Structure 1
């Protein structure tokens, strides 16, 4: 995943082709959280903010949907779908609506050159990352990589964020019922979010199979994320009487119990949506 440069610019996309599996509305839960998290920054951005859908897959549905959801807050937001496979980029062009929705070839280097005068990682005279993306969403991209490659990929992507921007990297199932993602800013990871369709969820740890690559192999005794999922399951079991009032009330009761021992971010309003966000430093991999 090393960046190859020529004249200061990436000579070729950085990364590997993904499977490309995609379905309409697959990322709706992640997008809902993103919109809530970034609404103040979207409204305040000047010039119009840029959002990136990295690795959108064989069809551009997720980029089209991201543009629609962000535009509900900021009508002139620009979404750039980036794919490493040239044929996928060619197919997506029929859905392009410049300048609000465009598609280009690229990888973890996130090529934004020529977009509102952006150049490299900030352009002449700019701080690194200035003029970058307010959002980079990388869903179901890093799952195929090795755990040891995650830190480098995160570093490349964070370098392309604008001040106040977010990198959202995670995994979901094929129809978008179960998601887990990490939110990072230019300094590093900040939070981990679990989101699910609560109907049919037997226990919170069912989401373990959707943990992002940085954590998927850490769900073992002695690791913080394992302890977090264990405590969620215990609280879920204790909240069984709330099931008579619906899975949502049981989830809220579970979150309230867990919040006594874990640094949850957000509150009942997010819990009602089947979300649970915890500070990254509480669940990060244990030091070697």
Structure 2
């Protein structure tokens, strides 16, 4: 059932998307976040604001089916024209509908909601209310992933927002080849943090710490950029930054830290 237009919460985004653009966050959803999906009584997942092309929802269904073959992905878009264009791709486990942050799912509650490059186009003051609305619709143990990435997915960041506890972590995932410094990802921080990358803010200090560790470990580049990155992440963890993952994730160009370490002051 499609909700009445006045019930839709949100505004139409530019809709820019590309195949494989969200591979980095999908790799995290099928990795560290996978236990939530495995435990779910209803394996419902939402691709919120998928954009002008439904390809990201199609890819999400394929990638999460490795975790649970019965995963049910619903692509939600505020633009009825985009939804109509996606409908021919519907099949068991993949459907599309008109809606916004209110998640029109006929009473069902998703365990995972991926909202990428959506809130980036909103004001910072609108982020927390959007988070809270989505959280109110999640299943017990559910998670909202609010993130941003560049046009082809080389640089990506996301905040994991727990349905019960609110934001719990910030993840950064980078293509290491050609990386000059980790803080190059700053322009792709989620809306809740992008304007906070200034002196005195925690996320600014965090990115500076990553840059410093990256610079100190430049001699390791002769052994490959991945070795340099592993050493840099190990260094920031040793300095006391609350890194939540381990070398298996770091090798992917990824690092996740506790939200308390980067949250706005």
What's the TM-score bracket when you normalise by the shorter of the two chains? over 0.9
- Offset of 1:40 from its aligned partner? 2.3
Aligned to 2:96, what secondary structure does the other structure show? strand
Match of 1:279 among 242, 258, 261: 258
Is contact 1:205-1:229 (8 Å) kept? Answer: yes
1:167 aligns with 2:161: no
Q: State the match for 2:44 in structure 1.
A: 50
Match of 1:102 among 86, 95, 106: 95
Q: What value does the CA root-mean-square deviation take over the aligned residues?
A: 1.3
1:267 aligns with 2:260: no
Structure 1 segments (4+ residues) deviating >3 Å: none
- Offset of 1:132 from its aligned partner? 1.0
1:253 aligns with 2:231: yes
Q: State the match for 1:203 in structure 2.
A: 181
Unpaired segments ≥5 residues, structure 1: 1-5, 114-118, 120-130
1:152-192 deviation per Cα after TM superposition (whole angstroms, max 9, x unaligned): 01101111111111110010000000001000111200000
- Offset of 1:10 from its aligned partner? 8.2
Match of 1:219 among 192, 197, 201: 197
For 2:36 and 2:184, the matched residues in 1 are separated by: 33
Q: State the match for 1:78 in structure 2.
A: 72
1:216-267 deviation per Cα after TM superposition (whole angstroms, max 9, x unaligned): 0000000000000011100000010111111111110000000022000011
- Number of matched residues? 261
Is contact 2:37-2:112 (8 Å) kept? Answer: no
For 1:164 and 1:33, the matched residues in 2 are separated by: 17
With the length of structure 2 as denominator, give the TM-score of the two structures.
0.96
Query: Which residues of 2 match residues 59-74 of structure 1 at below 5 A?
Result: 59-74=53-68
* Structure 1 range deviating more: 10-19 or 49-58: 10-19
Aligned to 1:162, what secondary structure does the other structure show? coil
Is contact 1:161-1:185 (8 Å) kept? Answer: no
Unpaired segments ≥5 residues, structure 2: none
With the length of structure 1 as denominator, give the TM-score of the two structures.
0.88
